[in-house]
Each structure stands twice: as structure tokens, then as C-alpha cells.
Amino acid sequence: MARAFPNAPRRALTLVEDPVKRLHKLRNRIAHHEGIWDQNLAGRRDDMHNLLAYLDHDAAAWVASCSRINTVLSQRP
């Protein structure tokens, strides 16, 4: 676990496991064409960014610079 996520602030399984479970649930809802408007999408964005940062800070910064999710979320009704 420590080698897979070298930048994690602590070595707790739940630090990675909980956001992965939440993202998996969101992915399944999308894959099954279920509504996601009641989901905490900003929270899932943060989960994705945090997990990526635990893997590689440069990759997380690059994804954040290319992502349109903040724009989309700011236009959400």
C-alpha cells in the first residue's frame, strides 16, 4: 500500500479505500445510466484529485489544469 500511494499523508487503508468505494459507486451509477444529480460531485472530484495526488503530485497538478469539472460544477443549477 505504501509503495502504491507514496505521497499519502498517512498509512491508513481507509485513506484510500473510502474514496475508491465512493468513486466506484459513482462510476456504477453512471454506467447504469442512473441519475447523479443528487450526488456530492464536488466531493467525488476531491476524492479523484486526492487519490491522484497520493500517486503523483505532478500528475495531479496536470489533471487539475486540464479538467473542466470546476467549470461544469459552477454552472450547475
- Residue type for 26, please? L
Provide φ and ψ at 34, rounded to 5°. -90, 155
33-58 pLDDT, tens digit per residue, is: 999 999 999 999 999 999 999 999 99
The structure's pTM equals 0.88
Query: 3-state class of 13 per DSSP?
Result: helix
pLDDT beyond 80 at 1: no
Distance CA(52)–CA(63), nearest Å, equals 9
- Where are any strands of DSSP class E within the chain? none
Query: 3-state class of 66 per DSSP?
Result: helix
